[in-house]
Amino acid sequence: MASAQAIKYFFIRKLAKILINGLVWTCRVSIRGDRAIADLKKQQVPIVYIYWHRHIFFNVYKFKHTGARPLISLSADGEIISRIAREFGMEPIRGSSSRGGMRAFLKLLKAVRQEKSEILITADGPKGPARQIKDGTLVLAQKTGAAVVPIGWYASRVKIFHKTWDKFIIPRPFSRIVFAYDQPLMIPPHLGEEGLSNLKNRLQETLDNLEKMVIEESLQKAGNKEDR
């Protein structure tokens, strides 16, 4: 007999799938920067996508049934997100810098090197601080030769959850969503600690600028002010 918790998780993931699919179905979606991604795939270069934690909602939809493997923490919230990701055809890798980090990193290495999987990483997750990239992303890309690709999205009308640490966002119905890939970044295999630190700062700035760009474009398309 299924436990109460299992039943709860079942309904959460089913309802989340209906909500995400239904909400995005009402929206108009524009994609930017995908030509560079097509080139990477043609050349069989592995890809690590990074994004701010607040962008999870649409990214789950965008990468459904692609074979991409998201890194998700072992926390209770992570368990819910993990089950929702599976509902969208993904196979999460569980762990974070604070818990199960080494095991997760080894699984990430295997996923990239042996399985040729694309990886999804919340650069500042799972608990922040917001907009600060963890070191593991850069080390993973350096050891595997993967391209690091910043991604971001925004909508002409969004709901911002101001009380969450990351100010989580979801699009409102019938809004215009702009999703964008930034330029791929290759990390030299012998880059030292100072070089990695500089790259981390550069990527943080890139993610912030990418978000500003998709915000501006989504609002321009709608011809209105930001709906919070």
Q: What is the pLDDT of residues 66-89, one digit of tens each?
A: 989 999 998 888 899 999 999 999
Confidence of residue 99 (pLDDT cuts 50, 70, 90): confident
* CATH code of the domain covering residue 84: 3.40.1130.10
Q: What's the pLDDT tens digit per position in 138-167?
A: 999 999 999 999 999 999 999 999 999 999
**Is the separation of the CB atoms in 104 and 96 below 8 Å?**
yes
Flag whether pLDDT at 97 surpasses 80.
no
Flag whether pLDDT at 225 surpasses 70.
no
Domain-embedded: residue 103: yes
Give the chain's domain count.
Answer: 1
**Is the separation of the CB atoms in 178 and 154 below 8 Å?**
yes
Domain-embedded: residue 227: no
Percentage with pLDDT > 90 across the chain: 75
Domain-embedded: residue 81: yes
Q: What's the pLDDT tens digit per position in 177-190?
A: 999 999 999 999 88
Average of pLDDT values for 108-113? 94
Average of pLDDT values for 5-13? 88
Domain-embedded: residue 83: yes
pLDDT of residue 224: 54
Domain-embedded: residue 197: yes
C-beta pairs of 127-130 under 8 Å, 24+ apart in sequence: 127/73, 127/75, 127/98, 127/165, 128/53, 128/165, 128/166, 130/52, 130/53, 130/54, 130/165, 130/166, 130/167
Tokens of 58: 């649409």
Instruction: Please list the alpha-helical segments (H only) found in 51-170.
Output: 56-62, 76-87, 101-113, 135-144
| Amino acid symbol at 27 | C
Average of pLDDT values for 89-101? 83
Domain-embedded: residue 94: yes
Tokens of 140: 């993973």
Domain-embedded: residue 48: yes
What rounded mean pLDDT belongs to the chain?
91
| Amino acid symbol at 90 | M
**Is the separation of the CB atoms in 147 and 110 below 8 Å?**
no
**Is the separation of the CB atoms in 181 and 55 below 8 Å?**
no
CA distance 25 to 5: 30
**Is the separation of the CB atoms in 67 and 118 below 8 Å?**
yes
pLDDT of residue 4: 85
Confidence of residue 228 (pLDDT cuts 50, 70, 90): very low
Q: What's the pLDDT tens digit per position in 20-62?
A: 999 999 999 999 999 999 999 999 999 999 999 999 999 999 9
Q: Is the dihedral of CA 46, 50, 151, 16 positive or negative?
A: positive
Q: Is residue 149 classed as helix, strand or coil in its secondary structure?
A: strand
Average of pLDDT values for 119-130? 91
Residue 13: domain span:
4-222
- Using the structure block, give the residue that is written with the tokens 């009402």: 26
- 129 preceded by a cis bond (ω within 30 of 0): yes
**Is the separation of the CB atoms in 185 and 38 below 8 Å?**
no
CA distance 51 to 121: 7
Domain-embedded: residue 213: yes
